[in-house]
Every structure is written in structure tokens, then in C-alpha cells.
């Protein structure tokens, strides 16, 4: 959804409900991911006391979900990452659900930082039809947003296919 869509919805709410609507600056939905495989060996030692039993798998699963909700680069969700837990140990006194959950989050963080993490930016596909005399200005505008221009010539119209980063279009 773009800024124009948001402005239209704000105007609709103003008219329909007769209320003042305040909006903030739009935010870009970044995502985080990794570029390479990473192995890790993490030891979590915390003296807490707890329960011994079959809480490991459930707690580890919750820890994975906790870890991918907020990444470590800029705090946005993590995508395209697979986590495989090969082994784990428990202690009769110190193994609790919270301990396994915390150990999972911290081990994923360790592996994430070793796996060449990066930030994913949203990309918009734009198609513009314009006369040839305006192609230079349009192309310059697209290049300023780090966009990619592809062209199809049709008679006197230039059809430009663009991909532009949403963050650069503010």
C-alpha cells in the first residue's frame, strides 16, 4: 500500500466519522535475512532451578519464533532462515522452559551474526508510458532511487518498466 492509498483512507475516515485523523511519517517495512550458512555451538549456563522433562522441543520452537520476530541488525522480522537444532542437553535442576527458550534465542543470534546478515528492502514494480521527450527526466528520477529501467518502444511512446526501492521514494 502506498502513501496515496493511505491518504484516500484517511479522507474516507474523516468524511465517514467526522473526526480529525492524525498520521505520522510512513515507515518502510524492512526485513532481515542471512546470506550464508552458519553453524553454532552455544552453551547457556544459568543457575535457576526448574523442571526436568519433555519441555525442550516446545520451548525451542517458541525460542525460534521469538528470535525471528525481531532481528539484530535493525530490529525488523527475519525471513528466509532455517534453524536446525542437532543436539541439546538438560540438567535436572537448571532446565526450565524459559532456560531452553532463552538458549534458543541466544544461539540463533550467534548463528545469525556469523551468517553474513543483510537488510532486505521492499521493491515496487512501476510501469510508465510517456512520450520520448520526457524519457531523460523519468530515467534520471528512477536512477536517483537506485531503480532499474527496462524499455519497450511503441511508436512515439516509451514504455519504461522500473523497479525502485520503496525507501528511496520518500
Residue 129 DSSP class: E
Phi-psi group of 143: left, alpha or beta (phi > 0 → left; psi -120 to 50 → alpha; rest → beta): alpha
Going by pLDDT thresholds of 50, 70 and 90, the confidence category of residue 169 is: low
87-130 per-position pLDDT tens digit: 777 766 667 788 888 888 999 999 999 999 999 988 877 777 78
The average pLDDT across 36-49 equals 71
Domains and CATH numbers, the chain: 31-119 (3.30.230.10), 122-169 (3.30.70.240)
What is this structure's pTM? Answer: 0.64
Query: What's the pLDDT score for residue 148?
Result: 79
Taking the mean position of all CA atoms in its chain, how far away is CA 61? 20
Most confident option among 23-27, 54-58, 61-65, 150-154: 61-65
pLDDT digits (tens, 9 = 90+) for 49-92: 444 445 577 888 899 999 999 999 999 999 999 988 777 777 66
Which pLDDT value is given to residue 45? 65
* Residue 27 DSSP SS3: coil
Amino acid at each position: 500500500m502506498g502513501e496515496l492509498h493511505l491518504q484516500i483512507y484517511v479522507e474516507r475516515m474523516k468524511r465517514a466519522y467526522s473526526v480529525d485523523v492524525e498520521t505520522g511519517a510512513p515507515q518502510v517495512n524492512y526485513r532481515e535475512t542471512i546470506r550464508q550458512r552458519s553453524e553454532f555451538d552455544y552453551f547457556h549456563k544459568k543457575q535457576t532451578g526448574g523442571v526436568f522433562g519433555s519441555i525442550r522441543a516446545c520451548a525451542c520452537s517458541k525460542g525460534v519464533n521469538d528470535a525471528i520476530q525481531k532481528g539484530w541488525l535493525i530490529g525488523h522480522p527475519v525471513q528466509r532462515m532455517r534453524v536446525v537444532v542437532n543436539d541439546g542437553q538438560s540438567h535436572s535442576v537448571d532446565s526450565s522452559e524459559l532456560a531452553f527458550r532463552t538458549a534458543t534465542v541466544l544461539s540463533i543470534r550467534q548463528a545469525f551474526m556469523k551468517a553474513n546478515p543483510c537488510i532486505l528492502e521492499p521493491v515496487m514494480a512501476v510501469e510508465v508510458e510517456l512520450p520520448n521527450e520526457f524519457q531523460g527526466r523519468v530515467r534520471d528520477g528512477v536512477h536517483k532511487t537506485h531503480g532499474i529501467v527496462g524499455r519497450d518502444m511503441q511508436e512515439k511512446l516509451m514504455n519504461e518498466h522500473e523497479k525502485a526501492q520503496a525507501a528511496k521514494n520518500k
